[in-house]
Amino acid sequence: MMSSEDHTEGATAGEDISGLLEESLIDRRDRDAAELESISRAYDKHVFRARKKKNKWLTDEFIRRVHQDMFGGIWDWAGKYRTGSTNIGIDWHQIPEQIAQIVGDFEFWNSPQSKMDAVEIAARLQNRLTRVHPFKNGNGRHARLITDIFFHSQGHKLPQWPQLQMLPRGDIIRNQYVLAMRKADMEDYRDLIKFIEQWL
């Protein structure tokens, strides 16, 4: 899974560890390892061992449950919408309304009336969830897992998201993703679709 865009790799100064459930995870490397293991279990549950989803599977409850499965046991805010302002994302008061809007839009995108293919639907879903930034942290990783759940529901090949910290061109790839997401924020999804397609 692509490494998180929610923090700078290796950063420690000024980190917010409020809500951390285990004192043994105060060290950043230990915490990253615990999160990676927990996210892997969430992938097993929701993608690799899951039955394909049927109609109307994307709900407010499901969105929160996936986040809880990814980060529960590590953070007390896992699976809970944030209740404060951040430098990215919408105003926290609007999160439930915007999630409901995404759920409704997704239902149409994924309907027989829609002309969108699976990659465009995935790009829109991933961008919209990330743009809202509903959780305190882990939003990018969560949006990518939701995207993969969607691909699995379609019997579609899953993206092999790059491990950016392991690649010599990791910064370049990350910048491509960030720029594609910024264009998608303005409703231009073409570059994000191309980005996803290159990892299929």
Cα separation of 45 and 60, whole Å?
A: 18
Q: What is the pLDDT of residue 8?
A: 35
9, 15 contact by CB (below 8 A): no
pLDDT tens for the chain, residues 1 to 200: 665 444 433 333 338 899 999 999 999 999 999 999 999 999 999 999 999 888 899 999 999 999 999 999 999 999 999 999 999 999 999 999 999 999 999 999 999 999 999 999 999 999 999 999 999 999 999 999 999 999 999 999 999 988 766 567 778 888 999 999 999 999 999 999 999 999 99
Domain borders along the chain are 23-155
Q: What is the pLDDT of residue 6?
A: 47
CATH superfamily of 23-155: Fido-like domain (1.10.3290.10)
Q: What is the pLDDT of residue 94?
A: 98
Q: The pTM is what?
A: 0.91
Cα separation of 40 and 48, whole Å?
A: 10
Q: What is the 3-state secondary structure (H, E, C) of 69-82?
A: HHHCCCECCCCCCC
